[in-house]
Amino acid sequence: MIKLENITKTYDGKAQVHALKGVNLTIEDGEIFGIIGKSGAGKSTLVRCINMLERPTSGNVIIDEKNLTNMTDAQLRAERKHIGMIFQHFNLLSSRTVFDNIAFPLELIGASKEAIQKKVADLLELVGLTDRQFNYPAQLSGGQKQRVGIARALASDPNILLCDEATSALDPQTTKSILELLKDINQRLGITIVIITHEMAVIKEICNRVAVIEGGVIKEAGRVVDVFTNPQSQTMKDFVKSVINMELPAGIAKMGITDQPAPGYDMLVRLRFKGAATNEPVVASVVQRFHTYVSVLYGNIDYIQDEPFGYLIVVIMGSMEQQAKAFEYIKELPIGSEVLGYVPRNH
């Protein structure tokens, strides 16, 4: 388990920079945890505090009940063997082959040639690069270079793998293959993976939980499907928009929406579903219970890993009293709901 307790990080200079401001996070063993934020939010500083490449100004970094902030440099070097890291720009040694790049950390700890040969062969198979072991980095694609970086990070059998913008330099198809590899590694080896990214699609694809960082502060955290379907911070709302369109379609926006109910106007409502709630017969229930009509104007269903979520924009028709009672009923259901406004009848 990784526990960050009230982590702050301040850089001194002509003007002090407060990169992290009292960060508290708990990352469970074996999960894939995402930390998402815009450029300059503090996410890379945060991940470097986890392995103590950056010493926090204050606070505690506790991994498997060991407080890394109290350790000497020698103790930290030993502890970092259990923490692998991969980077956006791969950081491979250009003068060494794929095999030798992966072998490098094993050479540093004095492993035998036989042990290195077996370990590297296993890692090459794991990342799908056995046929590339004698190539040099210049002969590899970006995705292949990142696979080498992943294999090298796994050479010391870490319990934790930190990924700092590991897919940012890759095209979408290559990104997908790298994320599938990371998910496979997590499931096969049980390694805890922490992913730092500014790409919501990465979080949506493989993370179990996510924390949103903005200005060095954690704005919200939780299960990806919960944060994704009900974002609280402006940062997460912006990220969600990059993956699924939550804006009103242009045709609906031009209907003459007002803020207040009035005779001759119908209620415009957005419904949010997730998990089993996507099977709720909401529209049919409202029609039957309140003898009114519901018009579906727009719908969108997607998946976060294997969990469905979606949105419906509907118009609840009828008298103002019928509309109000229908919405009160909807609010009691296990779905999200909000009134977007009121539109003229016979729109």
Per-residue pLDDT of the chain (347 residues; tens, 9 = 90+): 999 999 999 998 788 889 999 999 999 999 999 999 988 899 999 999 999 999 999 999 999 999 999 999 899 988 988 999 998 888 899 999 999 999 999 998 889 999 999 999 999 999 999 999 999 999 999 999 999 999 999 999 999 999 998 888 888 899 999 999 999 999 999 999 999 999 888 998 899 999 999 999 999 999 998 888 788 888 888 888 777 766 677 777 778 888 888 898 999 998 888 776 566 677 788 878 878 888 888 888 778 877 888 888 899 998 898 899 889 988 888 888 889 999 998 76
Instruction: Extract the tokens encoding 222.
Output: 């939780």
Question: What is the rounded CA–CA span in Å between residue 60 and residue 27?
Answer: 14
pLDDT value at position 176? 92
Question: What is the rounded CA–CA span in Å between residue 100 and residue 103?
Answer: 5
Class of domain 2-243 (CATH, top level): alpha beta
pLDDT value at position 112? 92
Class of domain 250-344 (CATH, top level): alpha beta
Q: Give CATH 3.40.50.300 domain extents, the chain.
A: 2-243
Question: What is the rounded CA–CA span in Å between residue 286 and residue 282?
Answer: 6
Q: Give CATH 3.30.70.260 domain extents, the chain.
A: 250-344
pLDDT value at position 307? 80
Strands 192-197 and 209-214: unpaired
Q: What is the pTM of this model?
A: 0.84
pLDDT value at position 61? 95
Nearest alpha carbon to residue 258 among 214, 167, 320: 320
pLDDT value at position 45? 93
